[in-house]
Amino acid sequence: MKLSKICSGLEYRCLKGSMETEVQDIVYDSRKIKKNVMFVCMTGARTDGHDYIPDAIEKGASVIVVEHEGAAGQIPEHITVLAVSSTREALAFMSAAFFEYPARKLVTIGVTGTNGKTTTTHIIKSVLESNGKKTGLIGSNGATVGELHIPLKNTTPESYELHSLFHQMVEAGCECVVMEVSSQALKLGRTAGIQFDYGVFNNLSPDHIGPNEHDSFEEYLACKSLLFRQCRYGIFNADDSYYEEVSKGHTCQITTFSAAPDSNAKADIDLAAYDIENLNQNSRLGMQFHVQGILDGEYRIFLPGYFSVYNALAAMSVCRLMGIAPDTIRDGLEQAKVKGRMELLPVSKEYSMLIDYAHNRVSTENALNALQQYHPRRLVCVYGCGGNRSPLRRYDMGEITGKYADLCILTCDNPRFEELHAINEDIKVGLKKGGGKYIEIDDRKEAIAYSMSHAEPGDIILLLGKGHEDYQEIKGVKHHFDEREIVAEILQEMEKAGTK
């Protein structure tokens, strides 16, 4: 593709060479440079792409894009050099053009917030596909294009990968894409230039604040709000205390949802839930509720916890605005499931078992508090904590599980380069503070097997921390470990032994 076409709509200065230069691909990773590609010099937290200009010259790049015009002096005259104010933003606009604007060929739905993004995107996908709309998915569980699953390094990938995924979705016949839009992605311009059809705000709480993320909570909030200046319709959780601040400066048409118990506060809400109840159908946990507003009637979702109602309302609002019929929305909600997010495993009608990715204080407390609302005979937690991470997270996990769980089974998570026993000693500090009863079983499969073989009718067993992951990282090596497969193996072993 000619450079002039790739740069249409982009502000730039051509310092050397010709805009008629042919470009075979766009790269920003110096390891991927080859002949006749465009190399975009991006500045990151640890590296500066301008340092790799000599590599780009040697490997035959035909175009180099810079932020620092002084860097052009070292580049030969036969290589085209463009100067832009932000190479990150330029990459987004050029990638869109290179893939011929695939986002414009899809209904684009972006979900942002601190918690619930993954679940909300999966619920929306479930409803849309119940309506026959083939839908792509991008988020922390990876990307889904038809039957193809693609692992991702970031919740919201870099702009080049993002537009490449959109292109693959269009080629695969997708009509829609629903994606998690992280605050980092908004901060770093990964979604620059995309006009989302629908943007969703779930909630906000302090998170991702620190080196290489956000300098402050104020910056975190400001980045979240950017989505609502680049979408047509904004769907907001009106119960969240930061709703008004996040919606400031919006350029979209706003729709609100609420699950607040005070019905008097719902007069101006577009979709309000009431009569919210826990649902336990043969150890299949979920929520049932009535709604009024842009939808009316009773709905159910087989994902436990009050927060699941909020995620459902967000999805219902989007799908109703898209013109999806109420019965189709109802069917899609009941079929929705999310890998590793309060994921129910069909192990027994006597007790419930779930997998959840919770691995910090807030998400763990939300999960355990939600499950206690079902009044289990016992709430049993099987978990560990990751190595080479802050000990504070371990203390918090121990304290919260000790407070809510009747039994904790300490085991292995991803110890990485730390010793398992050292990690669990940190967890025990919190457990003692929370007053929790615990045992230790180092091998995670054995720990899960113990929880199942000692389960009592009415128990809820929660496998914490791994979620959608299918590996354990030990001493720098990732070993395959999928809890769904492990549970299936244990069930077979118990059946053979006659202990099921």
CATH number of the structural domain spanning residue 41: 3.40.1390.10
Q: Could you read off the pLDDT of 239-248 as tens digits, one per residue?
A: 999 999 999 9
The verdict on 52 and 110 lying in the same domain is: no
CATH number of the structural domain spanning residue 430: 3.90.190.20
The verdict on 155 and 298 lying in the same domain is: yes
* Side-chain-side CA neighbours of residue 20 (13 Å): 0
SS3 39: strand
Burial of 1 (0-12, 13-18, 19+ CB in 10 A): middle
The verdict on 216 and 127 lying in the same domain is: yes
The verdict on 26 and 137 lying in the same domain is: no
Of the residues 335, 356, 383, which one is the last residue of a structural domain?
335
Cβ of 152: how many Cβ atoms within 10 Å?
17
Of the residues 292, 318, 335, which one is the last residue of a structural domain?
335
With 90 as the cut, is the pLDDT of residue 201 above it?
yes
Rounded to the nearest 10 degrees, the angle between the axes of helix 87-98 and helix 159-171 is 10
* Residue with more model confidence, 114 or 368: 368
What average pLDDT is seen over the chain?
94
What is the C-alpha to C-alpha distance for residues 327 and 310, in angstroms, rounded to an integer? 19
The verdict on 385 and 316 lying in the same domain is: no
Q: In terms of residue numbers, what domain contains 92?
A: 3-98
Rounded to an integer, the average pLDDT of 435-455 is 97
With 60 as the cut, is the pLDDT of residue 252 above it?
yes
Q: Could you read off the pLDDT of 291-325 as tens digits, one per residue?
A: 999 999 999 999 999 999 999 999 999 999 999 99
The verdict on 350 and 325 lying in the same domain is: no
* Residue with more model confidence, 56 or 283: 56
Number of domains in the chain: 3
Rounded to the nearest 10 degrees, the angle between the axes of helix 306-321 and helix 361-372 is 100
The verdict on 246 and 289 lying in the same domain is: yes
The reported pLDDT for the residue numbered 209 is 57
With 70 as the cut, is the pLDDT of residue 153 above it?
yes
The verdict on 363 and 323 lying in the same domain is: no
- Under a CB-based contact definition with an 8 Å cutoff, are residues 235 and 318 in contact? yes
Rounded to an integer, the average pLDDT of 169-178 is 98
* Residue with more model confidence, 454 or 500: 454
The reported pLDDT for the residue numbered 212 is 61
CATH number of the structural domain spanning residue 114: 3.40.1190.10
The reported pLDDT for the residue numbered 177 is 98
Beta bridge partners, 37, equal 25
The verdict on 359 and 413 lying in the same domain is: yes
The verdict on 256 and 296 lying in the same domain is: yes
Cβ of 485: how many Cβ atoms within 10 Å?
12
The verdict on 395 and 260 lying in the same domain is: no
Of the residues 51, 67, 98, which one is the last residue of a structural domain?
98
The verdict on 149 and 193 lying in the same domain is: yes
